[in-house]
Amino acid sequence: MDNPSLKPGPKPGGKFGTKEVAGKIVGRDKKVVPPQEVFKLAQMGCKDTEIADWFGVNGETLRYNFRAEITKGRESLKQSLRQAQINLALSGNAVMLIWLGKNILSQSDNPMTTAELQPLPWVSGPKTESETEELSPDQDTESELTDNA
């Protein structure tokens, strides 16, 4: 078992090579960051710090140079999740149908009638004759308020 070729795992003295990467040159260290890879990582749901660490750049530098790619990637993730939820609901999943109904269609377990949504009328104490005369014609009177109720 002392023979290294019989042991599992990577063999010592692996092959090395060079690779040319096309992308935006960013940061003090002039790192090359491909915008399509930033998009893919954002689309997978990676946080900004995780993407920045992956490429070896500062988080602020990443956000400054790739704001559009990060935003588009996250929006693409949201769209994919929505589509998966809708497909699941349309396939007959009752829980997903209820959840989507509540969140997208504003449905509720406790429906309210339109009468319950109306505000209560404002009724103040009794008015004297002088206060009633001071009201201008465009102001509501107490009788109008009670008539509408």
Rounded to two decimals, the pTM is 0.57
If you average pLDDT over every residue of the chain, what do you get?
81
Tokens 């109720």 identify what position?
149
Which tops the pLDDT comparison, 1 or 94? 94
- Band of the pLDDT at 131, cuts 50, 70, 90? low
Question: Mean pLDDT over residues 43-57, rounded?
Answer: 95
Domains of the chain with bracketed CATH: 21-104 (1.10.10)
Position 144 pLDDT exceeds 60: no
- Identity at 54, one-letter amino acid code: W
DSSP H helices in 91-128: 94-104, 114-117
Question: Mean pLDDT over residues 109-129, rounded?
Answer: 73
Looking at the chain, how many residues does it have? 149
| 109 Cβ neighbours under 8 A, 6+ residues apart | 102
Tokens 């940061």 identify what position?
27
For 111, phi then psi, to 5°, come to -65, 145
Q: What is the pLDDT of residue 31?
A: 87
| 40 Cβ neighbours under 8 A, 6+ residues apart | 73
